[in-house]
Amino acid sequence: MKVLIVDDSVVFRSQIAAALTGTPQIEVVGSAPNGSIALQKLDQLSVDLVTLDMEMPDMDGIAVLKAIRERKHKVRVIIFSAQTIRGAEKALQALKAGADDVISKPSSSEEATDYKSPQERIREILVPKIHQFLEKREKTSLTPERREEKLELFPKTPPLGAFEKLPLTGFQPSAVVIASSTGGPTALETIFTQIPQSLEIPIIIAQHMPPVFTQILAKRLGDLSKKPCNEAKHGDILKPGHIYVAPGDYHLQVAHSSGEVVLELNQGPQRNSVRPAADYLFESAAAVFRNRLLGIVLTGMGQDGLQGSIAIKQAGGRILIQDEPSCVVFGMPGAVFKANCYDGMGDLQMISGVLQKLSENLH
What is the model's pLDDT at position 10? Answer: 95
Inter-residue contact 333 to 298 (CB < 8 Å): yes
Which residues, other chains included, contact 226 with Cβ-Cβ below 8 Å and sequence gap of 6+? Answer: 197
Give the chain as a 3 state SS string.
CEEEEECCCHHHHHHHHHHHCCCCCCEEEEEECCHHHHHHHHHHCCCCEEEEECCCCCCCHHHHHHHHHHCCCCCEEEEEECCCHHHHHHHHHHHHCCCCEEEECCCHHHHHHHCCCHHHHHHHHHHHHHHHHHHHHHHHCCCHHHHHHHHHHCCCCCCCCCCCCCCCCCCCCCEEEEEECCCHHHHHHHHHHCCCCCCCCCEEEEECCCCCHHHHHHHHHHHHHCCCEEECCCCCECCCCCEEECCCCCEEEEEEECCEEEEEEECCCCECCECCCHHHHHHHHHHHHCCCEEEEECCCCCCCCHHHHHHHHHCCCEEEEECCCCCCCCHHHHHHHHCCCCCEEECHHHHHHHHHHHHHHCC
Domain ranges of the chain: 2-140, 175-361
Q: How far is CA 160 from CA 82, 234, 314, 338, 340, in A?
A: 42, 33, 10, 11, 9
Inter-residue contact 99 to 67 (CB < 8 Å): no
Instruction: Name which of 188, 172, 303, 328 is nearest 246 in CA terms.
Output: 188
Amino acid at 300: G
Q: What is the CB-side half-sphere exposure of residue 128 using CA atoms within 13 A? A: 16
Q: Characterise 272 by phi-psi region: left (phi > 0), alpha (psi -120 to 50), beta (else).
A: left
Do the domains 2-140 and 175-361 sit in the same CATH topology, yes or no?
yes
Inter-residue contact 53 to 8 (CB < 8 Å): yes
What is the model's pLDDT at position 138? Answer: 61
C-beta atoms surrounding 87 within 10 Å = 22
What is the model's pLDDT at position 169? Answer: 87
Choosing from 7, 48, 304, 323, which is the catalytic residue?
304
> pTM of whole model > 0.75?
yes
CATH superfamily of 175-361: Methylesterase CheB, C-terminal domain (3.40.50.180)
Choosing from 180, 208, 251, 279, which is the catalytic residue?
208
Distance CA 359, CA 363 (A): 7
181 tagged catalytic: yes
CATH superfamily of 2-140: Response regulator (3.40.50.2300)
Which residues, other chains included, contact 181 with Cβ-Cβ below 8 Å and sequence gap of 6+? Answer: 207, 208, 274, 298, 299, 300, 301, 302, 304, 329, 331, 332
Inter-residue contact 244 to 205 (CB < 8 Å): yes
Distance CA 46, CA 29 (A): 8
pLDDT (tens place) for every residue of the chain, 363 residues total: 999 999 999 999 999 999 999 899 999 999 999 999 999 999 999 999 999 999 998 899 999 999 999 998 999 999 999 888 988 999 999 999 999 999 988 765 555 456 678 888 899 999 999 998 887 766 655 455 544 444 443 434 444 456 889 999 889 999 999 999 999 999 999 999 999 999 999 999 999 999 999 999 999 999 999 999 999 999 999 999 999 999 999 999 999 998 999 999 999 999 999 999 999 999 999 999 999 999 999 999 999 999 999 999 999 999 999 999 999 999 999 999 999 999 999 999 999 999 999 888 775
What is the model's pLDDT at position 162? Answer: 60
What is the CA 311 to chain-centroid distance, rounded? 21
Choosing from 180, 181, 284, 352, which is the catalytic residue?
181
208 tagged catalytic: yes
